[in-house]
Chains A and B, each alone.
Chain A
């Protein structure tokens, strides 16, 4: 394994270990996603159709991700640990990648709860919709980890994260809903892949400038 990959693995493993101990992020995301789907189940009129339900699923997924992203840099903010990581001679983008991978894992666990709950309350999900969710998760983690790092540095972090992240997540919602309801979902999935590639490269390249003074 290259030194870069070893650094990323060590940083991601550290986040998973912290979550296994503190159990702060994944349980909160799982409870939130189920509670929101229950609320929507009763709020949505019976004859609204499946398309409206898929729309609500994506709103739920994005806000669940926002909940997790808001907590993602808390361990680094306490005791200014991020300073220690920035001083280490590893490539600083490894810090972003390690955090993104851990966030992806947390999101995936929350969705293992969310998607069956959606199928139970609303409608079954096709394979293309699940592919859309996975691809959107990659984009959410890439962009969200960068934005939450930027937000964590300021005093108005609770405001900055949704204000910056939600507009950037609109293409993901468009692609995700398209992949869920369109008969030919290929173009929407391709759109999500392009978003993931483009924003992963941008986030990877800009992380160092975002977190240093």
Chain B
């Protein structure tokens, strides 16, 4: 599914990632750990195709419509409502039975009551829940989550635990986190960035 051989990424003169190699098979679960600035976000951006490696070879056997990505930023419009954001993404991702799928996700992530509020009025935790809805909207088979527990309260984190357990059985998953113990039981591979 993923084959990375000596990949490196440089921004200007600074190296964000040096000589990383790993492989992950289909339905594998990769846990990425490392200190701040170790290159976790850069690696995840490379995996989803938002950036290209400066050196080395990276092959990911997933088309864009199969990729679900949660980044540091929520990737949603602040002046649109949750419903409008998901409608737009649902259309771009050609989600079948879009309204039902959006309604089900908003319900599951506890945002149904706030669906018609602008994202600008959301708390950080609600925005993170919406970002997770956006990442999972099209039922991706390759899921990449960058610090997914950020800003989630206890109930939100437990909900995400359950989502990850489901995803681990059905999709290839890459998760970066500062709380590896939470995800470790699901992981089939680990990558520690220095």
With A6-B91, A10-B88, A87-B50: A80-B77 Cβ-Cβ less than 8 Å:
no
A85 within 8 A of B: yes
A29-56 to B contact mask, C-beta < 8 Å, 1/0 = 0000000000000000000000000000
With A80-B71, A83-B50: A88-B92 Cβ-Cβ less than 8 Å:
yes
Q: Are the CB atoms of B93 and A18 closer together than 8 Å?
A: no
Q: Is the interface of A mostly helix, strand, loop or mixed?
A: helix
In Å, the complex CA distance between A83 and B76 comes to 10
In Å, the complex CA distance between A21 and B77 comes to 12
In Å, the complex CA distance between A83 and B69 comes to 10
B153 within 8 A of A: no
Question: Which residues in chain B, 38-79, are within 8 Å of chain A measured between CB atoms?
Answer: 48-52, 63-65, 67, 69, 71-79
Shortest Cβ gap from A82 to chain B (Å): 9
B134 within 8 A of A: yes
Q: Which residues on the B side are within 8 Å of A90 (C-beta)?
A: 92
Q: Are the CB atoms of A10 and B74 closer together than 8 Å?
A: no
In Å, the complex CA distance between A41 and B82 comes to 47
With A3-B94, A87-B48, A87-B64: A18-B80 Cβ-Cβ less than 8 Å:
yes
Question: Which residues in chain B, 101-150, are within 8 Å of chain A measured between CB atoms?
Answer: 118, 134
Q: Are the CB atoms of A84 and B134 closer together than 8 Å?
A: yes
Q: How many residues of B contact A (CB 8 A)?
A: 29
Q: Is the interface of B mostly helix, strand, loop or mixed?
A: loop
Q: Are the CB atoms of B88 and A87 closer together than 8 Å?
A: no
Q: How many residues of A contact B (CB 8 A)?
A: 25
Q: Which residues on the A side are within 8 Å of B76 (C-beta)?
A: 79, 81, 84
In Å, the complex CA distance between A212 and B79 comes to 25
Q: Which residues on the B side are within 8 Å of A120 (C-beta)?
A: none
A14 within 8 A of B: yes
Chain B residue nearest to A22 in the complex (CB): B79
Q: Which residues on the B side are within 8 Å of A81 (C-beta)?
A: 75-77
B84 within 8 A of A: yes
Q: Are the CB atoms of A87 and B94 closer together than 8 Å?
A: no
With A10-B92, A84-B89: A78-B78 Cβ-Cβ less than 8 Å:
yes
With A89-B92, A213-B52: A18-B79 Cβ-Cβ less than 8 Å:
yes
In Å, the complex CA distance between A212 and B118 comes to 28
Residue ranges of B at the interface with A (Cβ–Cβ < 8 Å): 48-52, 63-65, 67, 69, 71-80, 84, 88-89, 91-94, 118, 134
Question: What 4 A-B pairs are tightest by C-beta distance, nearest first?
Answer: A84-B75, A89-B65, A88-B92, A80-B73
